Structure 1
């Protein structure tokens, strides 16, 4: 550490001495606002330094220190080599400690002519002087003529009134750790720095953290500061800020905390004991989530409250961007809400592990005509959330009310409904959504834990319902989630449902996924039977190309060509014959395909079969 000798050398200059950490003598320290022509480390030893405007301030500081018995003083302008980025970074990370270890701090208010204008000094508006006010045990204030105005103890009432910092800090009754993150941030909310990055760097000591300096990163420095705070402190008041900036869960400036001076920590008895985790995605933590509106709009209840709020923690507005109850973004960032826990059945809204998305370095452009998400009216929410929830959930799925389904599933007691059949028909909510081809609903239910497959005896397969109804994209979603292509549903398989209903693209999708062409229904019919009977030529052709067996037999000993002939599907009969189907095969009643074509009066098919006999 470099210190400035308070006595001039024989040449009439002030000398700087370097000390090892274990050899630092008692010293005073200067707190001031920078002016023009400050004396720097590079020119302190040069004779022209005496001609600089800042030299008089340096001389007066040394004179005061010498009069008070100090051989050394520390002044930031000349005791730091600011041409060295490494030294500057070390000094800024050590600044709070420098002031805290000083024997006395001289706060020079260059714009204060008398005690009457004390509180109007720009010294109280600068970012760096916050730690210079709080860290030293002794702070002595001087006016523009270096006349003593008082100390931070004798002036604590005036200082508290102009800074909104509690008097107990200045009296020594309370330490910094007594106050939460939001409260300490609020002390810096109206302070200014020349460089945007210094809004963060000047607060390192206030929060007891260290980090490298990256000038040029602008607001991201303040985001990094908050990330460092989260590594050493689990204080939810860090998120209790208001600002029109919509860049994420972390504020981009201390100004966002200007109204947070009365917010303190509040930890419910059942609060989980899990630390914050910060990743590139965001902040991972456990919070209660209350759904309140469309598009995944919710309130996330923080573990903090206003000083005089009994059981009314603060909540922030968030949006479940993927409707998964896992990843949220902060919205309506100019608002905070007080939540009365006595109005909630807490067991229905347990703490959930969620991710609050990280701040973006660049401000997101929001269209001027885009309105913030709006909560549902209280009466509507109460009616929805307090009705027969199981019925309400079923109706919402059936009626494609995605927002209502999301809202209802914010209740923990309804989540088990996703994993079991719903009614006497063994329908699951997922199967109901899949049958409707409501892909957003299917994705939502899957994200919330709906079982993609069910036991063959316990319900309808969602994949079968989607295949039966011809919902190709729904089938893709289910297969991507690992749906079993060979799950039986009412004696049928997804491939059979698709073939029976002529959904060629779905048949192809299932075949590519490994569906078994020889799978049979309760009557021993394969997919080729289904397509042949219904006249789905393209599906028959596709199945034959995949090796479907033309000689498979159903429970009446018929092959697919029997059903095609009986229903007069000439083109399909030809496809089957060309694939090697036996024209003279006989069924359980010893009848041939030609017989059934004759009974049906399908002349063209009869002729075709005769020509192949």
Structure 2
């Protein structure tokens, strides 16, 4: 640490554990301030020397041999030293024996102390708070009083409570929002300094990145969240919503001077978790409007306000699944009257709230502010949607596709999401059956939803979705990790069976990509390939064999192979494909007939020729041909 010798203005350096007593100067920068290089070069012909001289003379009068002045005790040509100094500055002011606040624009007794621009600057806030005492001096270095003696005056112009100024209470007793409010109307020459000048007041150390602009204030808030669970950090109001959950500048806290920490629910607060795009926080949440609009209840209130009216911020559930929220209506913090609601309406939830980064944009609307006033429900409407008197309200809303109603009901703690109707349907199965994809998504997002409940008729959720042909819902079920993909529905059929029977190539492909077993059999022992061949679905047959690796020799309970099914149906194209893939021409079918027998019985010359070309045997006894089919064969040969 560099210090200035007060008797001769020489610079000395000291190790941090060997620093002598010193005075420290708090002031507004003016023209021609002396730099470190000026003092080391003994260049004192600048206007700034008068200030240095006045500080040193006052320090000598207070029997202090050393003084610290930011203009000449920091090498500002070194970015590393500047960063270290700014991170240490609160501590340096805290340890100073005397702190002189030089009010160059005050001349006692003509001007009032509280009108000094010193009280409007960002850096002077920590310089006012950190020292054990602050001595105010006018332009001529005349004593104006101390922070303690002038505490009422200083409190009026700064908003800082007298008990803080007098040292009766420490900064840790004041909410983050209230501390931020003290900086709300202060200014700095550089945007980044609006954040950097507050680091000491919150006990934060972080790198300085000049050029990052307002991102510096986001970084400061993120660092605060890592060491504090004070929800008042979110109790700001501003039309500038570019920061998402976080304020874009201290000015957003101008109305937060009376915000205090308060836990109305007597529940422990969990740590905030900061990620690159948002914040995980446990908050009580209540639905209050359309399209996923709700309020997160903060553990804070207005000083002197009612205990039953905690502060709340407006959030929107962007996916209607309670998984990702954004802050909306950022220009208003609500005072929620909890006496108008049941506790089950605002359960505690783990919320992931998006934080944004300010980026350059040419859009006219840079704020991202959303007007949601027309989307807010009245208290009576909320009660109607919550429908406490009807335990089946969720079932009906899901069946009818009433997404807002479903979402509102899911915000309750006491709704049974797995309640079954008399026919076995749950809210989820009704949504699946009725093609309500958005509601399926909302229900699947719940950790407690049960997906293996079967509805009447033997359907399971995945087979029900596939049978209805809803690709979007099938995707949701497959991607949810909550559905057993090879579970069976009616007649023992899997979802892949139903996809094949529906003739949907897209569904079959989707199911194969998600690992459904092509060898699962239904109640008749048939695999999906049997059904595809039976239905003459050439594209699906190719898909099952080429991409699914289906066994082309698999037999059902009557010993029919896919080849025999194709021959029996007279589908030469599929027969040719299966033969090309290696299907055996001597396979067995029901009554132990050979493929050639099926072909002759079906009077398909093309298929007979395909089989013969592949080496189908004509040994009547071994091939199992009956006399009638033998005569058909001989007739074909003689005519050819």
Partner of 1:111: 105
Partner of 1:54: 48
Partner of 2:394: 389
1:362-377 aligned within 5 A: 362=359, 372=370, 375=375
Q: Decide whether aligned partners of structure 1 residues 182 and 561 sit closer, same or farther in structure 2, where only a CA change above 3 A counts.
A: farther
1:64-463 aligned within 5 A: 64-113=58-107, 117-243=112-238, 244-267=240-263, 274-287=270-283, 297=292, 299=294, 301=296, 303-307=298-302, 308=305, 310-311=307-308, 312=310, 314-320=312-318, 325-331=322-328, 333-337=330-334, 343-344=341-342, 346=344, 349=347, 351-352=349-350, 355-360=352-357, 362=359, 372=370, 375=375, 386=387, 387-391=392-396, 392=398, 393=427, 394-408=429-443, 415-417=448-450, 419-456=451-488, 461-463=494-496
Q: Bigger CA drift: 203-212 or 341-350?
A: 341-350
TM-score, normalization: structure 1?
0.80
In structure 2, distance between residues paired with 1:144 and 1:580: 114
Q: Are 1:468 and 2:473 counterparts?
A: no
Aligned-partner SS, 1:231: helix
TM-score, normalization: structure 2?
0.77
Deviations 1:351-402 (A, max 9, x none): 33x5444533525676869994965856887666545324523443333333
Partner of 2:3: 3
In structure 2, distance between residues paired with 1:66 and 1:574: 118
In structure 1, distance between residues paired with 2:385 and 2:624: 60
Deviations 1:112-154 (A, max 9, x none): 3457643333322222112111111211223334333332223
Q: Decide whether aligned partners of structure 1 residues 568 and 119 sit closer, same or farther in structure 2, where only a CA change above 3 A counts.
A: farther
Q: Bigger CA drift: 89-98 or 431-440?
A: 431-440
Q: In 1, are the aligned partners of 2:122 and 2:187 still within 8 Å (CA)? A: yes
- CA RMSD, 1 decimal: 4.3
Aligned-partner SS, 2:25: strand
Residue ranges of structure 2 left out of the alignment (5+ in a row)? 399-426
Aligned-partner SS, 2:29: coil
Partner of 1:601: none
Deviations 1:134-175 (A, max 9, x none): 111211223334333332223333333333333322122221
Q: Decide whether aligned partners of structure 1 residues 423 and 38 sit closer, same or farther in structure 2, where only a CA change above 3 A counts.
A: same
Q: Bigger CA drift: 28-37 or 572-581?
A: 572-581
How many residue pairs get aligned? The number is: 593
Q: CA deviation at 1:562?
A: 7.0
Deviations 1:331-352 (A, max 9, x none): 5544555556663554995533
In structure 2, distance between residues paired with 1:302 and 1:253: 22
Partner of 2:408: none
Q: In 2, are the aligned partners of 1:313 and 1:340 still within 8 Å (CA)? A: no
Deviations 1:197-228 (A, max 9, x none): 22221111111121122222223322322232
Aligned-partner SS, 1:351: strand
Q: Decide whether aligned partners of structure 1 residues 26 and 573 sit closer, same or farther in structure 2, where only a CA change above 3 A counts.
A: farther
In structure 1, distance between residues paired with 2:163 and 2:55: 28
Aligned-partner SS, 1:56: helix
Aligned-partner SS, 2:82: helix
In structure 2, distance between residues paired with 1:526 and 1:360: 62
Q: CA deviation at 1:233?
A: 1.9
